[in-house]
Amino acid sequence: MTENTETAPLLRTVDLTRHFRIGGGFSRNNLHAVDQVNLTINRREIVALVGESGSGKSTIARLLAQVYKPTSGEIVFEGRPLSSLRGRKAQLGYRSDVPMVFQDPFASLNPAYRVSHGIERGLKLHRTELSPAQRAEEAERVVEAVGLNPAAEILQRYPYELSGGQRQRIGFAQALAYRPKLILADEPVSMLDVSIRIGLLNVMADLRETEGVSFLYITHDIASARYVSDRVMVMYGGHIVEAGPTEPVLQEPKHPYTQLLLSAVPDPRAPLSVDAETAKAEPPKVVNPKPGCRFRDRCPMAEAICHEKTPVLLELAPKHEAACHVAQRATAGVAAR
């Protein structure tokens, strides 16, 4: 299954699936957190993964970070399946290529140590060739790269001396110290003030330019996804329901769920449009699902077929895929004419 490292996408998943057994010890109930997800992330690309709480987006991040093992399916990094990685060195190598930035900057830095500790520890572990002096130099470089000045002084501070936005920048600096190829950013800005968020989104965009890193940006805020990403994937109930280049997906959403997400974004420049009824329902816990579209109970366009057959992702416009029977038929109808 090994592919050419150069031409293969940076990371792709093949039918990635993760179920959790829930209930008591003898329970046979399975929660389908992620079901048969195929995603691709190319080099120097920012991909946004959008969905409500409970849609399975964080589970994907944890699968990619190897916190969870997949129930089935495979993650292929630079053409090599992760299940073929043998030994601690290969594992460490993957971890330094694909680090993660966490949601809560108040909980993800150790309050007992100076900022430099976390960064240099990562360097010690993943870049053993550096001397102590080089490590200190490299730590300053990454702190500057995320827009914190003066770097030397920031490194000597404790986390409590930093604001939320600064802490989250340190989170990015830690990830950057490994010279990563892909950073998994799980809701990196959702705990921050609106006025601080944009600065971090800019950090992500800049790091892609200067360091050539790819990002998987996980968020429920579709407006920020538009601001920073090249491609967007929309998740619902463990499935990817729509995927494609950001602008077409957001300007002409094919899936009714994407349309709902878009209508929920507060936009003071636009008139109020929210369908309180659809919005009231909540994303399902997908336990032992039967075939059928998982969005059908909230969907304004649901038909008989939606209760019987699970829709699959089909390309409805160039590179723009959606998993919706109604949208697929509409496109087929236009094509037939």
Partner 1 sequence: MSEPMLEPMTGPGSYPEALLRVRDLRVEYATASGPVEAVAGVDLTLGKGEFLGVVGESGCGKSTMLFGIAQLLNPPASVTGGEVWFKGENMVAMSAKSLNTLRWRDFSVVMQSAMNALNPVHTIGRQFKDAIKAHAKWPPDQIRVRSAEVLELVGIDPVHLKSYPHQLSGGMRQRAMIAMALLFTPDLIVMDEPTSALDVVAQRSLMAQIKELQKQLGFAVIFVTHDMSLVSHFSDRLMVMYAGQAVELGDTRSVFDVPAHPYSKGLLEAFPSIRGEKKRLTGIPGAPPNLAKPPSGCRFHPRCPVAMDRCKADVPDLYTVGSAQARCLLHEPAPVSVEVES
Q: How does DSSP classify residue 201?
A: H
CA distance 226 to 190: 15
Polymer length of the chain: 337
> Which one of the spans 46-54, 116-124, 306-314, 322-330 is the region binding partner 1 (CB under 8 A)?
46-54
Q: Contacts with partner 1: how many residues (CB under 8 A)?
A: 41
Q: How does DSSP classify residue 242?
A: E
> Is residue 62 part of the contact set for partner 1 (CB under 8 A)?
no
| Residues 211, 85, 37, 18, Cα dihedral to 10° | -120
b/e per residue 301-334 (b: at least 16 CB within 10 A): ebeeebeeebbebeebeeebbbbbbbbbeebeee
CB of 305 to partner 1, least distance (A): 25
Closest by CA position to 140, among listed 125, 155, 161: 155
> Which one of the spans 50-58, 93-101, 210-218, 322-330 is the region binding partner 1 (CB under 8 A)?
50-58
CB of 276 to partner 1, least distance (A): 5
Residue 24 or 87 with smaller CB distance to partner 1: 24
CB of 246 to partner 1, least distance (A): 9
> Is residue 315 part of the contact set for partner 1 (CB under 8 A)?
no
Give the Å distances, CA to CA, from 239 to 50, 57, 207, 208: 11, 10, 29, 28
CA distance 16 to 86: 20
- Residue 62's φ and ψ, nearest 5 degrees, are -70, -30
* Site mask for partner 1 (CB under 8 A), range 258-297, x = bound: --xxx-xxxxxxx-x-x-x--xx-x---------------
Taking CB under 8 A as the criterion, which residues in 166-185 touch partner 1?
A: 166
Residue 116 or 224 with smaller CB distance to partner 1: 224
Residue 266 or 333 with smaller CB distance to partner 1: 266
* Site mask for partner 1 (CB under 8 A), range 194-233, x = bound: xxxxxx-xx-----------------xxxxx-xx------
Q: Which two tokens stand for residue 133?
A: 């002096």
By the 8 A CB rule, do 146 and 207 touch?
A: yes
CA distance 192 to 173: 17
CB of 209 to partner 1, least distance (A): 12
Chain positions contacting partner 1, by CB under 8 A: 52-54, 163-166, 193-199, 201-202, 220-224, 226-227, 247, 250, 260-262, 264-270, 272, 274, 276, 279-280, 282
